[in-house]
Structure 1
Amino acid sequence: MNRNIFRKYDIRGVFPDDLDDSTVMTIGRAMADLAGPGGLLAVGRDCRLSGEYLFGLLARGAASGRVRIADMGVQTTPMTYFGAHHLLSEATVMITGSHNPPEYNGFKIMKGLHTLSGDEIAALADTPEPPSSDLPEIKTVNILESYLDRLRSEFCLERSLKVVVDAGNGTGGIPACRILTELGCRVVPLFCEPDGRFPGHHPDPTVEENLVDLKKAVLAEGADIGLAFDGDADRLGVVDERGRTVFGDRILTVLARALLESSPGATVISEVKASRVFYDQVAAAGGRPIMSATGHSLIKQRMLDENALLAGEMSGHIFYRDRYYGYDDALYASLRLLEIIAESGGSMSDLLSDIPELESTPELREDCPDALKFRIVEAVRNRISAEYPTNCIDGVRIDFPDGWGLLRASNTQPVLVMRFEAGSREALDSYERTVRKAIEEARRELDVQTDDRGHRAKDS
């Protein structure tokens, strides 16, 4: 078993190299232990080609734990979270590779309504391998209508909006097009047919090249907004009516200001990649902004700890505990955004017009082996903290004289993640050069250290 697949927020690896039969059956037995004898284990999956096979292995592994199994079928991750609330399952699993390439898959796990993270996930690797078992009796449960009923009960848009929906051939297109049409929107679908090969484009709305078709369609159709979902529809990307990308922290700022009108003083959480403008805007609107470490399971727990009503990440995960359950649901967040636009009588760009916009980069990613990435971040932190103030709640966020820079190790991919913000383009470029230089120096230093032990870090 490759223990590196047991990550901070979920289990994720390449099928079948990492997710082999024995490993997945062991994970299934661990899920049965979470549910307990006679408990209900509810399972959903995205449209990746390996999903059905992995579900079978998971169910066979769980069989020895004498649990009841509910197969929710192909759906979004938020629908699976909804299923945990709707079915009151003792344990719930979403089989998904999220925004990773097609050869990846993985498992997001809940015990009751608590999302597992960190040591809780790591401990699952110690589960004994279950005995070989036939596929147990499985009950098929379709929760789509119940999920849509929940959305129908809450939203009634004050005017019709034209919306382009790019689901990236993930699972978000079907529920999104249905509810938006029912709410009176004029919907233009792009890549809304689920296809685990993702033929349209890779389903990651944080990457600009994946938004090219959406931007063109918004302009060609004269649409009010473009919405993009990742493969399992727990992350949202937005393009305004002018065809411009709206970064996640600016989406969250719009949502937070609207929330604070109805809930003065509310706590709103974002993470280390978010602009300082977001934190300033929430405070100016009378809210209580909090900076958290990145990660859907970490933020959900922080929301409970701080009694926060709203949270969000640069990556497009948006969490509502106001009128909703507190998990990340791209479709629900989309409807809250459309509600704000419809009530305002203006456009998305109007809502953004008075939010200051500093010079900034999107998320920048640099390939780095899992075995090396955290060590590089630590080395850069040690090098830079002697010269600049730093915040180390997740990676290292560096306070420069006229802005900030962030370096952190991704918990889901073998990459380093960076972002920069500054008052001028010159300062922005300077801060990025400073951090990239420190990364290169750290790589060289770690190469020398690993050479001394007979292993080169870059080959690990």
Structure 2
Amino acid sequence: MIHHFHPSILREYDIRGPVGSLLGHDDAHAVGRSFATRVRRAGGGRVAVGRDGRLSSPELEAALVEGLRTGGVDVVRIGLGPTPMLYHAEATLGVDGGIQVTGSHNPSGHNGFKLMLGHRSFFGDDVQDLARLAAAGDWTEGAGTVQDVDIQGAYVSRLLDVRPVAARVGWDTGNGAAGPVIAALTARLPGGHHLLHAQVDGHFPNHHPDPSEEGNLADLKALVLERGLDCGFAFDGDGDRIGAVDGRGRAVRADLLLALLAQPVLRDLPGATIIADVKSSAALFDRVCELGGRPVMWKSGHSSIKSRMLHEDAPIAGELSGHIFFAHRWYGFDDAQYAAVRLLELLGETGATLADLVDALPRYHATPELRFAVDPASRVRVVDEVLARLAARGAAVERVDGARVTTADGWWLLRASNTESLLTVRAEARDEAGLARLLAEVDAQLAASGVERPPD
């Protein structure tokens, strides 16, 4: 028996695509068979499996579990919950790997799989190897068992191993998989808590569950302002990315949240390495230096960041998109629920509000992450051409992930998406005039390569 995946669902960091047209029951079964083969050939035999709240997740999970079982792996099913709960299960249940059935922040009709093997991210060549094994029918055989385990209570109790302030907080789970965990968590947190869209609903009837898009924070902003709350937190569809709103109703980007969370980490671990992706603000890197830490800029992508954390023995890391990773007092994975309680702990330790802490950081003028579609053949070519022109003129360029160019005004970034036919632009300056000049430079570089950036 062999199986061929559609190449487009084999992403850099996971397997993901539209259900029905490119991803279905047979694909899920084949993922299980191939992953079981990798687990067994690595000397393992048990895998934890969880799922998000998308309409297609139960069917895909069932096919995945059957594939794992037929491949000779014992399965520990933890049921519906956020991806970090699956990561927690993988770290604590004595298993050899983990798979979450999730479409993350993608449209409601999409779904996929995030994988871990041996407590490490499973991505890049590993994903391609699953396809190779399936295409060759090179699968182990067996008759694994299936065990259902309720881990939510243990996960929530572990989240509460902090000292949070008794704040008044809004929580918007966007009808995603984090809803039940946040309901259980806030029932045990001190203070007053107000939940929005906590009912899991794969139709996502209120707004798309992507807190990195400020428009999706409108309900949370309104709640914070109407109720006079101290702050608010939002979560993506599978609960591994966080968004935040301060008491003045302002969105607080994840790179600035990391700048705040770095303070107690560096107090406990002086001189430690803090990793952030190439899209992150200069305010973050400067703040880490001020606190005596060692900032490291790295490529975007949760699997890349986790791997770099291990390499650098870094206690905390983050991405502009909302992934914040904790090895300090945690397990090394990205967890939006844990980021929220660590922020509440920080408020208690400092006696300040989130708005006060943000206002104490240097103020820059920055664009959001500007992403736009290009012809697939142009995605990498454009960045390479821009890098060549920048090198010819001796520009100050960080090449860790695309081109991050530093000028007298600030910096601008152009990078190609690792998973889609998109280019990403971001810029940050000390004032609006400088920001306009940076964007004009980006646009000139794009035009020189025959690409036009859509209007903001």
Shift of 1:440: 4.0
Amino acid at match of 1:168: G
User: Aligned equivalents of 2:315 and 2:90: distance in 1?
Assistant: 20
Q: Is 1:296 matched up with 2:302?
A: yes
Contact 2:156 2:181 in 1 (8 A): yes
Q: Distance in 2 between matches of 1:69 and 1:82?
A: 15
Is 1:383 the counterpart of 2:395 in the alignment? no
Please give the alpha-carbon distance, in whole angstroms, between the structure 2 residues aligned to 1:440 and 1:136.
Answer: 56
Of 249, 252, 256, the residue aligned with 1:250 is: 256
Q: Which of 329, 335, 354 in structure 2 is aligned with 1:348?
A: 354
Residues in 2 aligned to 1:265 and 1:323: alpha-carbon distance in whole angstroms: 17
The one-letter amino acid paired with 1:410 is: S
Hey, what does 1:151 align to over in structure 2? 159
Name 1:176's counterpart in structure 2. Answer: 182
Show the counterpart of 2:20: 16
Q: Is residue 2:378 matched to residue 1:360?
A: no
Contact 2:75 2:146 in 1 (8 A): yes
Q: CA deviation at 1:422?
A: 1.1
Secondary structure, aligned partner of 2:75: strand
SS of the residue corresponding to residue 380 of structure 1 reads: helix
How many residues are paired up? Answer: 442
Using the size of structure 2 for normalisation, the TM-score is 0.92
Match of 1:394 among 401, 404, 420: 401
SS in 1 for 2:198: coil
1:288–1:243 Cα change, 3 Å:
same
1:164 equivalent in alignment to 2:173: no
Cα distance, 1:123–1:443 mapped onto 2, change above 3 Å: farther
Indicate the residue corresponding to 1:263 in structure 2: 269
Aligned-partner Cα distance in 1 for 2:448–2:15: 32
Give the 3-state SS of the residue equivalent to 2:279 in structure 1.
Answer: coil
8 Å Cα contact 1:165/1:177 also seen in 2: no
> What is the aligned-residue identity percentage?
41
- Aligned match of 1:34 in 14, 31, 38? 38
Superposed CA RMSD: 2.1
Give the gaps of 5 or more residues in structure 1.
446-460
1:280-316 residue CA offsets vs partner (Å, 9 max, x unmatched): 1111111111111111111111111111111011111
Distance in 2 of aligned mates of 1:295 and 1:196: 25
Deviations 1:52-75 (A, max 9, x none): 111122123223311111221111
Looking at structure 2, the residues matched to 409 and 421 of structure 1 have their Cα atoms a distance apart, in angstroms, of 18
Match of 2:213 among 207, 218, 232: 207
Paired residue type of 1:3: P
What's the CA shift for 1:263? 2.1
CA contact (8 A) 1:374 1:409 kept: yes
Counterpart position of 2:89: 83
CA distance in 2, matches of 1:219, 1:420: 29
* Cα distance in 2 for residues equivalent to 1:81 and 1:342: 27
**Aligned-partner residue type, residue 309 of structure 2:** M
**Which has the higher mean CA deviation after the structures are superposed, 24-33 or 267-276?**
24-33
Match of 1:2 in 2: 6
Check whether the contact 2:18–2:109 (CA below 8 A) recurs between aligned residues: yes
Matched position secondary structure for 1:73: strand
Q: What are the superposed Cα offsets for residues 149-180 of structure 1, whole Å, 9 maximum, x if unpaired? A: 2123x1233x4211100111111122123222
SS at match of 2:413: strand
Is residue 421 of structure 1 aligned with residue 428 of structure 2?
yes
Give 3-state SS (helix, strand or coil) of 2:317's partner. strand
Contact 2:163 2:348 in 1 (8 A): no
User: Of residues 90, 108, 112 in structure 1, which corresponds to 2:114?
Assistant: 108
